[in-house]
Amino acid sequence: MGYAYYEITRNSATIQAGYGVEAVCERVGCTEKIDRGLGYLCGRTPGGDEHSCGGYFCGQHLYGDNQCEACTETDEEAA
């Protein structure tokens, strides 16, 4: 499987992902152009898991262990 284009299920919807898929940061109000590659992924699992939402964010909106603000706060509260 290549990582340029593939499909994932996130929030009960199927979306295209991969570094070949152009996108915009999912942070409300941010218009930074990104792709849906692993470098912009919140967490490590496309589609999300128990530690991340699986959204795609620009470098300015990924924190800590490559997580968005909401997932970083959730992990800190659980610790």
3-state secondary structure labels for all residues of 19-52: EEEEEECCCCCCCCEEEECHHHECCCCCCCECCE
User: Which pairs with CB-CB distance under 8 Å and at least 24 residues apart come from 1-9?
Assistant: 3/37, 3/38, 6/46, 8/46, 8/47, 8/54, 9/47
Domain range annotation of the chain: 6-78
pLDDT of residue 37: 96
Q: Tell me the pTM.
A: 0.90
pLDDT one-digit tens code per residue, 70-79: 999 887 676 6
pLDDT one-digit tens code per residue, 8-67: 998 889 999 999 999 999 999 999 999 999 999 999 999 999 989 999 999 999 998 899
